[in-house]
Structure formats: C-alpha cells, structure tokens
Structure 1
Amino acid sequence: MLEKDDFLKWVNASHYMFEIFEGRNDAYPLAKKWIREWSDFGKFIIDERDNGIVNLLIKSFDYDVFRNSNDKIERNDDEWTKFVNEVDRQFKKLIENNLKAGECKNVGFAVAPFLFTWNFQRFKEYFKKRKEDFDIGSYFKDLGNFLSGKKEVLRGFKDKHLIYDEIEKERVKQIFDEINGKLKETGIGNNEPIGTIKLLHVFAPCYFPMIDNDIAKTIGGLLPSKWESLTSDSYLKWMNALKSWLQNYFEVINRLEEEYDSSILKLIDEGLYMMSTVKQRARVARLGIELN
C-alpha cells in the first residue's frame, strides 16, 4: 500500500498525464455541470463557451483510435471510411439539433457527448449491428426520457460521498440494474455495465466510482472470468473495496478535491485508467520527438 506522500504523488502525476493526453477536449466536465443544472432546475444551459467546447470535441475526436484491424468491416479502408462518415454525420446532427446555445430540458443530450466519446466501443457495435435502424439522436432522447423518470432517485445520491456516507446496497443495486436494463433495451440486447457506471458517476460524482473491464481485470477479484463483465454485485464489491482503501488517505482527500475541483473518485479513475487501460506507447508520437 502506498504511503500518504506517495499516494499524493501518484494522484498528482496521473492527473497531469491524463490532462495532457486525454483531457483537453474531455466532455466529462460539461456533462457534470449540465446534469447538476438539470437536477436542480429541470433544464440545463448551453452557453457559447460550452458550444465551442463541444464543437472542438467533434473536430478532434479520432475514430481511428477505436479501429479494430481484425474486424472485416474495420480492416477495409473504404468500408471503415464509409462507416465513420455515417457515425460522424449522426453525431454532428445530434449536436447541431440539440446542443446549440440556449437551454435544453432533455438530460439525455447532457450526457450524449460524454457517453458517446468515452463509450464509443459500444456505440460502434450499435451502428454495425443495427445499421440503418440505429439513430443516435433518438437513442439519447429516449435515454433522457427514461432518466427523467428516475430523477428523484438519482437526486437522492447527488450529494452523497462514498467516504463519508454508507453504501446503500439495495438502492444502488436497483438503480444500477434499472439503468443497465434501459441501455440493454435501447442498444443491441446486451448488458451495458460500463455505460451504466459512467451514467451513475456523472449523476453523483462523489458517490459512484468509475471502473471499466480493463481496470477490473487488472485489480482482480471482480470478474468471474476474463470473458465476463461487471454486474451490480461486482460493482457493489468495488464500491466497498474503494471506500475501505480510501480511508487510509482520509487526511489528504479534501486537499486533493479542492485543488483539482474534482471528486477523489474521478482522480482515482484517472490514475487507474492511465495504468490499466491506455497503451502508453501510442502516446509517444504525440511528444513530437524528431530524428534528423
């Protein structure tokens, strides 16, 4: 286990690495801000700055990062280009129609840029398997209508903090399974634990920790096998383990959250993401070292 000073160094180093290579055009801060506004006022405001961030996100999003050379569609340059153009067209249409400067009442569009960009591996499968039947704008509109029906439940977690508040096992399990069920219904009939966890987190960033399958595999003990994914039960196990571990750093957590204006759960996720999920060698080219 890390000593407190080393824990601080790890969080600091991971955060700066994340910001440099992953966070410059991250939709997460916007999603968090918009959801809090919607939770308090029933609508969220898209100002000119927000609109500029979203447009920059669209412009800089690199679909090729998610390309799978073993897939018959994706390994064919012409097929991949055609596929990406259609996905990009729909994503831009969603932004143009629903996230122009002004106000919006459907919270599905508040989470759309964040969920689309950070869970694109799943959306890629929706487009491939449902083809002409899948419309991303309709997907997030439907999701927003569902989340509106869960507003009071989600508000109940909004101001909770994993370190200070108890883990309400039955309530967490219920909302996890309900959101997963909705994503399964609107997707391709598969469980969607990663999308579920990302949604839970942005609605209650200090209470619901993020995790993905790569991190779960690296930590060990959360997945029955490498072919299985997270469930509400394994997520509760993760919440309990993280809560217990963070008690060791109780004295420095407030300082970190204030310094970065971020929940400790988000900062921990950045560190685990950089260690477990990202192939760091792929980022070396971005350093710009040139040999003459």
Structure 2
Amino acid sequence: MVSADGYAELERCFEKVRLLWNFIEKNPEVYTEALEAGMKVRGGDTSGIGKLVEFLRSWNKARGYNENKLNELLEGNLKSIVSEFEKEHNEEEFIRKLRNILGDAVKKKTNEIIGAIKLAHVLYPEIFPLIDNPISEGLELKPEWRTLKLSEYFAFKHAVDHAVDEVIKKFGLNFSEREKYKRVDELLYLWYTWKGNNGESLKELFEGLEWKECIEVFEKFIETIKEEIMKSRQS
C-alpha cells in the first residue's frame, strides 16, 4: 500500500485525467446515457436502445453503422441475449453474439470486435473492460499490424481483471466496481492514442499544464499494470 500522500497524489492525478477527458470528449454525456440505457436493458426495459445506438455511432462514425438497422437488430435481439447471459454467464458467447449483431448493421462487412466490447462494457461495466487497438499495442498484447482477436481480448480481460484489482489495492484507489475499468481506460486511451507516440505528447501536455507531478505517478501506474499482466500470463 502506498503512503497517504502517494494515494492522494494519484487520486488527484486521476481527477485531472477525468477533467482532460471531459474536455477532449465532445459529448461525454453520450457514454453516461449509454450506461443508463444498459442498466435498463439488464432490467428488461429496451426503451433506451436509441442511446446505445448513439453511443456506438459516436464512437466511430467511420464504421458506417446503418442507424435504423442497428436500432432494429438491438431492439429485436439484445433483451434475449442479455437474459441468456444473466443465466449462463458465458462471456465469450455474449461478445460473439454482440459482434454478430454489429456486423449485420455495418455497411462494409468487418470484424466488429471492438464495437462489441464497447457495447458489452456499457451493458456490464463491472465485467468487461474497454480496450482499443492502440492500448493493446501499447501494453504489448498484440502486433501493431492487425486488429484484436476475440481470444486476445479475453486473454487481456483475464489479465486485467487481476492487474487492475492489484493496482487499485496497491495504490489504495477508491474506484467502484462499475467505474474502475472506465477510469483506467481514460488514462490508457489518452496515454497511447494522444498523437500516437506512446505517452510522449501526453507528458508534454501535462508539463504545459504544470501537472508534472502526475507524469511519474502514471508511469509507475502503467508499469504496474504491465507487470501484473505479465504475471497473469505466466501463471
């Protein structure tokens, strides 16, 4: 466990990342509304499906989701998929079914693994961590030249389940189960996607904002995640 001062410093730095994220993210309410819609679906209420569609379309407009078709497919299938998951708890099958729905709603047939993970996350944020290709490359989970495979996501998920819990315990962070993956993802996403140079641009930005104390803290934090992922792979 880190000292009280170390804990407070990391906590302050994560709050600064949240401020930066909300500034960069043009419509942060889209994510919040998708979480609320996900909770409704888990309770059998599909009235918020439109918010899930909006979230998926805002994530990556280049995917070319057919809004009407995506809405129709989620309206017709998501409730039963969630109900089955609640009974069976088969995580891989859950992601696979979500991926198939998104694949049917995209204009150009592609492997919608990242979209399926994002949808799974807003439905079950306490179970499915977010990931993007730059993060998986930065953490050395996959080669740069191809997209993430389903098997690799679950290898990542099982490692991160342990790694994030260990990091939170080690640093004494007070993240709830429903928010822990999102808070870590905000840091990792900014670190590995800000101009795509492995955190260097984010460090420069922090220096410019006089947040220098956060750079070393986050470097140690990310290194701890990498170490825990490596331990999980070896066990």
1:219 aligns with 2:222: no
Map of 2:158 onto structure 1: 240
Q: What letter corresponds to residue 140 of structure 1 in structure 2?
A: N
Match for 1:149 among 50, 72, 80?
80
Aligned partners of 1:21 and 1:150: how far apart in 2?
A: 33
The answer to whether 1:120 aligns with 2:120 is no
Look up the SS of the partner of 1:27 in the other structure.
helix
- Verify: 1:29 aligned to 2:32, yes or no: yes
| Whole-angstrom distance in 1 between the partners of 2:28 and 2:17 | 17
Aligned to 1:256, the other structure's residue is in SS state coil
Q: Does 1:206 align with 2:130?
A: no
Q: Is the 8 A contact 2:125 2:181 kept in 1?
A: yes
More helix as a share of residues: 2
Structure 1 residues 195 and 205, CA, compared in 2 at 3 Å: closer, same or farther? same
Counterparts of 1:228-267 in structure 2 under 5 Å?
228-246=146-164, 247-250=166-169, 252-253=172-173, 255-257=174-176, 263-267=179-183
Distance 1:242 1:173 in 2: 16
Aligned residues: 192
Q: CA deviation at 1:257?
A: 3.2
2:70 corresponds to 1:139: yes
Q: Deviations for 1:91-147, whole angstroms, at most 9, x for unmatched residues? A: xxxxxxxxxxxxx3xx53230111111122312xx5xxxxxxxx4222222233121
- Match of 1:111? 52
Q: Partners in 2 of 1:153 and 1:278 — Cα distance?
A: 38
Q: Report the structure number with the largest CA radius of gyration.
A: 1
Task: State how 1:24-103 maps to structure 2 within 5 Å.
Answer: 24-43=27-46
Extract unaligned runs of 5+ from structure 1: 44-103, 127-134, 158-167, 288-292
Distance, in Å, in 2 between the alignment partners of 1:193 and 1:117 is 16
Which runs of no fewer than 5 residues in structure 2 stay unpaired?
196-200, 209-235
**Does the aligned pair in 1 maintain the 2:134–2:193 contact within 8 Å?**
yes
- 1:172–1:7 distance in 2 versus 1, CA, 3 Å: farther
Per the TM alignment, residue 9 of structure 1 is displaced from its structure 2 partner at its CA by 4.3
What is the root-mean-square deviation of aligned Cα atoms in Å? 2.9
In structure 1, what is the Cα distance between the partners aligned to 2:138 and 2:13?
17
Question: Which stretch shifts more, 174-183 or 198-207?
Answer: 174-183
8 A Cα contact 1:180 1:191, kept in partner:
yes
Q: Per the alignment, in what secondary structure is the counterpart of residue 277 of structure 1? A: helix
Cα separation, 2, equivalents of 1:26 and 1:18: 12
The TM-score, its normalising length taken from structure 1, stands at: 0.58
- Check if 1:195 corresponds to 2:115: yes
CA distance in 1, matches of 2:53, 2:138: 28
Partner residue in 2 for 1:269: 185
Q: Which position in structure 2 is the counterpart of 1:14?
A: 17
Distance of aligned partners of 1:30 and 1:214 in 2 relative to their CA distance in 1, 3 Å threshold = same
